Structure 1
């Protein structure tokens, strides 16, 4: 087996929709015992001297304008679940590695992706598109791969000795073992994993317990380390609690785009698409505003979905400040046949369905109409418009033209043939229409397809009462 571990060092920021590279100084804090401690810092806060592990009060003393956000473990786990669904495009075996990692078993899919370098390149490109920083680890055991990723070590996996050598050099100070045990090992002069591995197992078990031996065995592959495979949900639901209140719809764009990018990653990993989603904009007291988005057709392109959202926001009115969002996509459909990247193909031609959806989002569905067939044999009454743009209009039969004149044109006859700049010869049999007598608008006509020497095709009819000829439509 070969495990690829992904460690997201900025997950506390990413799950809150914050940018760790922003110019403002931000920290994420978590209550540990009776005090709040810094668990993540932005680059600006780091420049002020703020460090992970500091108390909140000490960090605020170093940076006067420091912004503080409380850690949201539920949102971090939800984001990991979304990324696990995204990772399933590379391998069916994906495991969540709390608190901030994923494990991908990739041995069986290396041939499909034409080797390890290309697979790593695809993973890296997608994570960059998601604006996520990740550290990678590679090893035959999931625990060793996870350690490598957390420490930012990517061993050269050219042979079995490559990863074992890297594992032996891991410092014990950074491994997830109890602090008391770590200190005892340091007191014995042990600094690296390889030094610990050389000690007799019976002595280690007697002095430090079997848990340490199990840890060594799982890391080296001598002990089984079963992991629970991730099972993707049958819908997408993402909650995001904001650390600031939004009073204007324009400011919602960044947060909504972030959630739609996460949705797109989820859909790509599952081979799915959506035609509509629902946002809930959360207000104080449990109230919320619904923001439905329809895309005109199945899609998984983040850019296309955000284009609709941007238009829809122009018609949205906020009754109160927004302090959280919920994105729900509960109707998912297979979209395996459409190859598309995370943000869509910018080189494709204009998409009529997307244009229609954007117009609906900006003007409202009642303002957009499309042609529809009406149950009436008279051609001038056999069409109309409807506001429902979600269903395709019925196709015309081959005997009817796509271009119907606003008013029939009376035709002259020469040598017994109807004439319209050229003699018109009837093709095939007549289509007889006799209807409308009960409405006082009776018609009795024989319709023909006709063609002239130029090759143009016409739709003409002859009045059954007086034999007069008329031109009623043109074929393309």
Structure 2
């Protein structure tokens, strides 16, 4: 059975101002904005409210009631951003928290309260922390969002409604508790219907005829007969594990133990579905409201607890626990099916070697960054700088084969660099070449190896490549662009370095 918590921030914006400006404590103040040429009260502090200053009042009238009233500017963008921040903090109590604009939150607490020892301590902890943070709140728990919302705003009774007890709970409440439009509430009052129990037992056709379908919809939401949509601020990851801590965790050892437990649970779920994660995020919710997180990635799907723990272990020192961490959440936002065991990887003959190499690459990426690791496959182009393509994973297979039996340099320049040469003609390698101001005398040479472009790409000049070795034993891959001729003196380029 579903259980929801509705939290009402009675003075959300003015409480925020008090937190930002402590000097306002004890002073009556409001937030106001101009509407139709007049300044209107948009939010009133508790002190001003007790003096009769309410939302919607004209500021001039409010000052007539309370001359020492302080008026501050109202920012309409604050409500949603502030509620979103509080909602992200509340994720420590449930993974599903939704905004209830303009001044509330809705928590899907299904299956969460037992972690705090029951619904009463669960709700008490939520309200206690919010009140300690400076917010004046009321909250209630029920089977439906509508009933929890109604009880939090219009009832002073015990805020936890027993399962299936929403009808009895909302009976004595006013019609406003059903979130009805103002004109419907006004019509009910004109008929002398001031409590829900006055009309809840009326025949449904009568209610629809007199008050419209909205009456039946809102009643149905409160009683659980009509489904009410719920949009959490952070969608629930299909593969997520949570671990609350009864005492704040402040040590690296404690973080490691929590991580180990989360990985064991997550990997067990993944293995049962023949899946592996490609990305994992560990979020640590601190008691001061801050969220610290670290992230890992893998070169292929993995559900190995030991391997994933080693990747996270490198990043645990970056997590600052401060006063302590009270909730750990492990998300796997990128999950893929585990591939069938394969017998080759690059030129290896064992599937076990494949796993070992994949895990080694993951550890290297965790230490130095994934950008330092590359795997290249042949591409269907003749010119060397175009004949390779970077693979996205270890599972990628070549679509063609390397089309040469000639040696290739271990370092290939992305763009060939021009050099000055002295060479016999027509097809001899250079005797001397100058590269970046340094003269190299060629002692040995091999070639030429002619490479032309594909005819459908270009009909330009061909390249004649030579492998040359200078007097110091350094070996280079150079080429001549085109032939020597009466009207053509070809350019020479250096394209790579051999070991």
Provide the TM-score with structure 1 as the length reference: 0.48
Which structure has more relative contact order (CA 8 Å, sep 6+)? It is: 1
Provide the TM-score with structure 2 as the length reference: 0.46
Considering only CA atoms, is the larger Rg found in Structure 1 or Structure 2? 2
